[in-house]
Amino acid sequence: MKFVLLRSGQFLRWLVYCHCAAVVTFVFIVHPGVDGYRRAMFGEMVDGTAHRPHVYRTLVPTGIRLLSSVTPDSLKERLIGLVKDTRLFSKLGWDVERIPEYVIATLVFFACFLGFAFALHNLVPIFYPEPTAARELGPIIGLIVLPVFFRYYNHVYDPATLFLFTACIFFLLNRSLVKYYLFFILMAINKETAILLVLVFSMWYWQKGKPIIPVAIHVCIQTILFLSIRAIIALGFANNPGGFMEDHLLYNIYLIVKPGAVLYIALVFAVFGYLVVNQWSLKPIFLRRGFVAVFVPLFALTLFFGNLDEPRIFYESFPFVFLLSLPTIMDALGIRIVIPT
């Protein structure tokens, strides 16, 4: 009987997480979608002809291209026939010939959001073992708040950023170094912000009082891996238009005279800021240090190279923001989380 109940609970969890991930995926591709920024259009990202630095974030676009290349033409034609006359297709404005690639991308996005939910599911009890309701409800909340970050346009590498960065944190805490390195490599191919994981890695082992030499060796290995991967990617797309980074400082300064953008930024930062700092001193020290180690560099870089009114830029800090916010959110739902001392 206990085994049957356990299996039933696991099936229900899968069902709920899949439903939430499907809804988030739908919103992701519809509003605002993955086409809109002329330097990183979907087709150009998949073909590898987009502007730098976006084309450097090649893991998902390359995966889509490879999966499309091995998909039988008969199946592609069937997909085009099924999708091209639908109301959703007319709303999305997809290129008919690229429908198979869009469908593959949608499945990849769904898998990443679902993986992100299960990564959160495994992370929650590491910091908050009681009650179990936090472990079950937390990932649902983590998923359904994501559309708050969907502004202007999404990028094909965004869901993978959420999933891979969160998974790396879990494998690090779970001491699964082989899996950590595998996902670190994938994250390094996906986006240059993988270097922030080296800071998190160093902080975690420093907190545990591990000998400095083995930790330093790991840090060197990760740094060399990261630089090698990014150098290979940069060389591969050296002839693409654009620069190594995009300058957005003037755009961010100009936001001062855009009341709507200022209000949006203020609301997002105020709400999540409160959730994070509420009972700050009582929350796990790793989460506090990890949040600072990831968010502060991201914010500083965003001032110069990103748009402050695009919260999606801070996806790498979201696992820490979520876990720091969870006690306050659960308390509002009438569920008190026990924070270990």
Q: Is residue 5 part of a domain?
A: no
Structure letter (DSSP) for residue 333: T
Q: What are phi and psi of 95, to 5 degrees?
A: -70, 125
What residues make up the domain containing 26?
A: 11-332
Burial 204-243 (b: 16+ CB within 10 A, else e): bbeeeeeeeeebeebbeebeebbeebbeebeeebeebebe
**Which two structure tokens, joined as six digits, stand for 192?**
């240059």
Q: Residue 313 has what pLDDT?
A: 87
pTM value surpassing 0.95: no
Q: Is residue 1 part of a domain?
A: no
Q: Is residue 341 part of a domain?
A: no
Per-residue pLDDT of the chain (341 residues; tens, 9 = 90+): 444 445 667 888 889 999 999 999 999 998 888 887 888 899 999 999 999 999 999 999 999 999 999 999 898 899 888 888 887 777 787 888 888 999 999 999 999 999 999 999 999 999 998 888 888 899 999 999 999 888 888 899 999 999 999 999 999 999 899 999 999 999 999 999 999 999 999 999 887 777 788 889 999 999 999 999 999 999 999 999 988 887 878 878 887 778 887 888 888 889 999 999 998 999 999 999 999 999 999 999 888 888 888 888 899 999 999 999 999 999 988 888 877 76
Q: Is residue 216 part of a domain?
A: yes
Q: Is residue 256 part of a domain?
A: yes
Q: Is residue 6 part of a domain?
A: no
Q: Are 262 and 256 in contact (CB under 8 A)?
A: yes
In total, how many domains does the chain have?
A: 1
- Comparing CA positions, the residue from 140, 133, 109, 123 lying closest to residue 17 is 140
Q: Are 180 and 168 in contact (CB under 8 A)?
A: yes
Bridge partners, residue 338, by sequence: 130
Q: Dihedral through CA 108, CA 109, CA 114, CA 116, nearest 10?
A: 110
Q: How far apart are CA 118 and CA 116, in angstroms?
A: 6
Q: Residue 2 has what pLDDT?
A: 46
DSSP string covering 46-105: HHT-SPBTGGG--HHHHHHHHHHHTS-HHHHHHHHHHHTTSHHHHHHT--GGGHHHHHHH
- Comparing CA positions, the residue from 108, 213, 229, 115 lying closest to residue 164 is 115
Q: Is residue 339 part of a domain?
A: no
Q: Are 124 and 326 in contact (CB under 8 A)?
A: yes
Q: Are 133 and 329 in contact (CB under 8 A)?
A: no
All residues at 6 or more sequence positions from 178 whose CB lies less than 8 Å from its CB, including other chains: none
Name the amino acid, one letter, at 285: I
- Does an H or E element contain 17, and which? helix 2-30
Q: How far apart are CA 246 and CA 23, in angstroms?
A: 32
Residue carrying structure tokens 């080296």: 198
Q: Is residue 226 part of a domain?
A: yes
Helices 177-190 and 212-236: angle between axes, nearest 10 degrees:
30
